[in-house]
Structure 1
Amino acid sequence: RSEGCGDIMAQPPPFPARLPPPFRAFPPPFPGPSVRPAPFAVGPVAPPPFFLPPPAREGGSRFPPGVPYLAAAAPRAAGEEEAVQRQQDELWLSQFLGRRRAAAPPPPPPAAASPSSARAVAVAALARVARVAALCRALRRCEAQRDEPGWARARENAEAALRELREVVRPLREPGYGEALRRKAERARKRRLRLQRRKHEARAAKEEEAARAAEREAKIDQWRAKCIQEVEEKNRERELKAAADSVLSEVRKKQADTKRMMDVLRGLEKLRKLRKEAAARKGVCPPPSADEAFENQVESLKTLLKTRTELYEAEERALRVMLEGEQEEERKREMEKKQKKEREKLLQQKLEMDSKLFGDPAEFPLAHLLQPFRDYYLQAEHSVAALIQIRHEWDQYLVPADHPEGSCIPPGWVLPSLPTNDTWATAVR
């Protein structure tokens, strides 16, 4: 048995022939006889592997008798060689034809996930779905009518429409398409919201700027109206004063004319008296009717001049009163302006003092808490009834002691009364 094992170990295993490269050999560098190389050139057989000799047996050699250590491989049969060669030829031919076969066109790249493309795909898919639904109804109708050819045609059309539908919705089934579409839709929504917010902010800023511009325009118009009113008042006062001065000067001129006419009448009376005395010395006496007519005429003129004088004096008094009233109003306006400036100055000083003592009212957070106390202590400045009540309460301490509603301040120390019992006396001590 040990010899059989030695024989088996001594024989090397069969080594398969090495396969040639599956391509033609390169042509020789120089032209020579056209020799077509074999499609499967078999290279030299590799030497068998080297095996260590078996261990030496007791009392004998390590090698079995009659068996060399390196034994040649058993020769193959001719049929087996042909089968191996045919298998190699088929393998080479299949590899060559596989390389020569046209490569299949690569699948179209998936469309980029965007809301517009998804909308287009959805519209196209809805159109295909409507077509498939119509073909399904046609199939049911053909089945109800037992129309075999029509049913077959409708089925082919339905299958083609279904394939088109699957091809149309294929991008929607791509992995990550829905997530990418959701991200882009969310990004578009955020961008739209951001644009809307910017538009609202721009509109609000524009409206605020328009409101500020309108407020500035209103203030400017108010200031211009005030200036125009002041100028008009000054011009009106100047015109009234000029008119009053002109009327007063005219009245005074008329008064001077009336006085001159009175002087003329008195001079005329003196002249008639002198002429009458001169005529009487000469012995000429005018008739009494002439004297009476002269006196009547002079009296009527005196009455007229007196009436005119009284009228002119009344006009002068009215003009003087009007001028004095205008001057008084002007002085009053000047006084009001001066008092207003003083009140504003005092109010500003009071605000500065309050801000120094209690802080700035605009920045002081507890201003609303102190407002009731301010209203209570400043109520006399806004209400006459509150002023009268406060004054009445203060006057109660200034009336004599025998006044029924008074509570005058005692002139000396107010001493407490003695304790009513010993217990209170111990507590007071």
Structure 2
Amino acid sequence: MSALPSTSCPALFIAAPSSGQGKTTVTAAMARLFSRQGKVVRVFKTGPDYLDPQILEQASGNPVEQLDMWMAGETYCQQKLFDAAQVADLILVEGAMGLFDGEPSSADLAARFNIPVALLMDVKGMAQTAAAIATGLANFRDDFRVAGLLANNCGSERHAQLIRDALPENLPLLAVLKRDPAVALPERHLGLVQASEVRDELEIRLDTAADWLQASGLAIDSEALLHQVEFKAPGVEPVTVEPVLANKTIALASDEAFSFIYDANIKQLQALGAKVTRFSPLHDKELPQADGLWLPGGYPELHAQQLSANTDMLKSIQAFYQQGKPILAECGGFLYCLETLTDLDESQYPMLGLLEGHGAMRGKRGCQGMQTAPLPEGEIRAHAHHRSRSFDTAEPIAYGRRQRHPAPGEAIYRQGHLTASYLHLFFPSNPEAIGSLFSGQEIVHV
């Protein structure tokens, strides 16, 4: 048997003990620092996330895709890394939550693809203890390599020296990142603010962050940072499907209110033969000519009044629904399909009314987690992340199946050709089901 094609590229996995340590800021700073030097930087984000990739894409100047071995599959992740390694001078992967959190975790992903880990830790309020935690993380398992520690929010050189002296020789202090509010990324209730909303401000912050990182003592040409990793092509041929969406147009809601869109989902629709046309429920008066409609998640609660006031668009989508054409509504799109939506100020606004029920925001309490959506067309991997609730809804056709808990997941509704749920679907996990959903045709493998 011939060896699998492979290619080598420097790669680094930025992980942390927990959320809130500054992973996105440091990953973005690193991407901007290297791209500013003329290097091609490809960045990946671990797990289901829409907001961090927008920041990282602006920082690197290249598309950012998700890597998750449960949601996308190991072969999918391997192919994405192999493809990136053929064109990149550096691959960066930003972890999710803590290093060992989740199934699979950031550590599992790093171990599977042999990517060295840079541990990022907010060291405010501790010194030698930071070294102890870093050492424990580095030695908790022996199937991956930790390149060193990035000490964030370090107060002084003396503070840094205490940490440096306490670290073992095989765990160097890669960088000392001083406290600087000028590099903090703007946030809101579901995480970071969308890059498109603060593009000019973000550009300034990204350059400031790159300068901040460069001044940290990070040896950007060191073996610890630029370790060559061999990425192999998958050992199996990718499954192809018939282009059942050929000559079909899918209208995609895409604006300030609806922006939680995986680029991989768009590519999957295109691979099925579809043309994807974007439109704005906020600003446009009617739908473009289309054979299917995709209403993704986003922030409809921040734009509820404007969405409700755009009665021409409401009528256009209602007419589309009456024609019996397929519609997929995810999370924010699901709220848009209900009768009313109550925003964070407790003001209630009429919505599309395609589904019985109402939606309301509920502050900081929310729901999140990985789930499988058991649709009539087939099972699709998905995730939930919302801080709203729906009530007085019709009976669902199914419930999401949680990854690690027996309780029923998110309700899934089917009314006519409208499929709606809080779940965000990852289309590449089951292209056949997605093709069936948007076409009503059975897909045959070729």
The TM-score, its normalising length taken from structure 2, stands at: 0.13
Structure with a larger share of its residues in strand:
2
Structure with a larger share of its residues in helix:
1
Q: For the pair shown, which has the larger CA radius of gyration, 1 or 2?
A: 1
The TM-score, its normalising length taken from structure 1, stands at: 0.13
Say which structure, 1 or 2, has more relative contact order (CA 8 Å, 6+ apart): 2
